[in-house]
Amino acid sequence: MAKDASTIDPITLQVIRGSIETIAEEMAHVLFRMSFSSIIRESEDLGAGLFDTEFNTLCESESTPMHIGSIPGYLHGIQDTLDDGEWYEGDVVVHNHPYHGSSHTPDLAIVIPIFHKGELVGYSANTAHHIDIGAATPGLIIDVPDVYAEGMLFAGTKLYRKGKRNETMWRFIRNNSRAARQLVDDIEAQISSARLGVKRFNELLDQYGKELVFGACNQLMDYSEKMLRQRIADIPDGEYRAEGWLDDDGRNRGQHLPVKVCVRVSGDTITVDLTGSAPQTPTAYNVPFEGSTKVAAFAAFRKLLLDTATSDTRVPSNQGSFRPIEVIAPKGSIFNPIAPASAEARFTQCNYMIDLIMKAMAPVLPEEIIAGSSASISFASYAGVRESGDYWVFLEVNEGAYGGRPKSDGPDAIDNLMANTRNNPLEDLAMHIPMICERYELRDDVMPGAGKYRGGIGVVKAQRMLTDGIITHESERHSNVPWGIFGGTEGAAGKCDIYNAVSNEPAQEMHSKFHGKEVRKDDVMAYYSPCGGGYGSPLERAPQKVLDDVLDGFCSAEHARDVYGVILNLEAETVDLAATQTRRKELEAVA
């Protein structure tokens, strides 16, 4: 395989770049259009791409960042566990083992080898989150003792061998899921997506030749690496630290889990050191190192240093953008557990780690970082049994909010940092699941962090069960409030209540994560996501923006006076500029 790409002219290079990126996007499009479960079809919790025989990422779909950079870990794990120990044309492999490179068990990868003229030249692969793989409770798990309680474990398992379907394995899958039809159909969609990648990449090789195509891919990886190294080199060498905590492990209530981040910048390389973070937990609240911990660090610095909105050029997402970053997490810690510890509920820890990385880098990257975001994810599993005796299972990701930014307010009610799944349409919910949405809007019980640019406002979503059932909920930041930065104030913590819509019983305040909660018909789970912190001094916020927030109900007139120093005439809907100037001087003097 050619390594020297220096002779490839820029036009041809961009044509090949566009071609492989289009292949990845087409793979993702086929996957979510063909899938049956809403977490893939609507939320697009997936990733797809092409990889060479050394498991380098050549291209990836622009899917949720939690999948970006994860598949090389799967490929290395498959190499160690592959059925027969060898790839054949027509093979299809499924893999999800967290101690062999996967992100976590519900994210099944489908990998198909790419043979060109009889030679193995690469892999077409995708990952997608499945609604039920037969774990201890429907959909999601938290309080379980080990990885074997997470459901079906696949390690280099061939669903097809030399093009022949392994019916025994397919029957095994059908017999071990509460949502077998959706699981099987979604895997079939993944296979169709990966097969399309094989077809399209072979067409590209036929058109341009293997040497030219892989020469271009190598040059593009080198370019991404060079661009990231240039950005890293602009950061002063040093150690940058931040720390915080996670609410609990889902079992041992009130016991915070410390998270410590040290970012070491040396020349054009970065090391993210998580030493000092909590030991691994006895529950599923651990993070697979290869498939999730490292991926979170990659995502953090791509956001910080290669953001498409702030960069002069768009840098391809490929293996090159991972090479300058090293990640350290001691064995036996929450970010690098030792088998057979369970590690399914791993997402909120990754998002919080990214938030801390941004906090650590604030002194040297003030124009790139943001204030504290919700930096969590509300991932809820609702399930029950129909009169027919069949299970129904629904997975839902609820939005959070960003912290204030260097030039604008934090976006409201949106996935943030490493999360980027779409919300599930309420119409889809009503059509397929015995639930109804009682409330879905911006939070009005708290205010976001104040600042020159305020924090984003979280969402409140209340879902009502129309049958008896089970709820499992994975979230974070009920006790750890998103921070303000550069004079901004902190945001607001999240909360979760369960109550019955037809009884007079008081609401039950839930922990940020709970497992297998039995609920009755007409019980409602209401989730309130955290609000982001503010960026910059509130006294520098444009008075008209404060007025707009008050008129929109995002801020009270008292808060405007006491925190922003803005005096309003609400009857006239105007700002008293003279009184505001005086009030701000008073607040500056106190500060």
pLDDT class of 424 with cuts at 50, 70, 90: confident
What is the tens place of the pLDDT at every residue in 488-515?
999 999 999 999 999 989 999 999 999 9
pLDDT class of 3 with cuts at 50, 70, 90: very low
What is the tens place of the pLDDT at every residue in 250-263?
999 999 999 999 99
Question: Does position 455 have pLDDT exceeding 60, yes or no?
Answer: yes
Question: Does position 309 have pLDDT exceeding 90, yes or no?
Answer: no
State how far the Cα of 115 lies from the Cα of 519, in Å rounded to an integer. Answer: 51
User: With the CA atoms of 534, 441, 512 and 530 taken in that order, what torsion angle do they form, in degrees rounded to the nearest 10?
Assistant: 0
Question: Does position 392 have pLDDT exceeding 80, yes or no?
Answer: yes
Mean pLDDT of 24-42: 93
Residue 302 · residue 317 · CB < 8 Å: yes
Secondary structure of residue 197 in the 3-state scheme:
helix
State how far the Cα of 305 lies from the Cα of 333, in Å rounded to an integer. Answer: 28
pLDDT of res. 389: 85
Least confident of 55-69, 216-230, 393-407, 576-590: 55-69
Residue 107 · residue 96 · CB < 8 Å: yes
Least confident of 87-101, 103-117, 424-438, 550-564: 424-438
Residue 134 · residue 182 · CB < 8 Å: no
Cis peptide before 543 (omega within 30 of 0): no
Angle CA(459)–CA(465)–CA(471) in degrees, nearest 5? 75
Place of tokens 């409330």: 439
pLDDT class of 324 with cuts at 50, 70, 90: very high
Q: pTM here?
A: 0.95
Question: Does position 7 have pLDDT exceeding 80, yes or no?
Answer: no
DSSP labels, 543-567: HHHHHHHHHTTSS-HHHIIIII---
State how far the Cα of 301 lies from the Cα of 360, in Å rounded to an integer. Answer: 12
Percent of the chain with pLDDT over 90: 89
pLDDT of res. 429: 84
Question: Does position 311 have pLDDT exceeding 80, yes or no?
Answer: no
Across the chain, mean pLDDT equals 95
Mean pLDDT of 566-590: 96
Question: Does position 2 have pLDDT exceeding 50, yes or no?
Answer: no
Place of tokens 């399309």: 196
Mean pLDDT of 87-111: 97
pLDDT class of 5 with cuts at 50, 70, 90: very low
Question: Does position 465 have pLDDT exceeding 80, yes or no?
Answer: yes
In angstroms, what CA-CA distances link 426 with 131, 229, 282, 395, 553? 18, 44, 36, 13, 25
Percent of the chain with pLDDT over 70: 98
pLDDT of res. 524: 98
pLDDT class of 6 with cuts at 50, 70, 90: low
What is the tens place of the pLDDT at every residue in 159-193?
999 999 999 999 999 999 999 999 999 999 999 99
What is the tens place of the pLDDT at every residue in 211-268?
999 999 999 999 999 999 999 999 999 999 999 999 999 999 999 999 999 999 999 9
Mean pLDDT of 538-543: 98
pLDDT of res. 431: 85
pLDDT class of 65 with cuts at 50, 70, 90: low
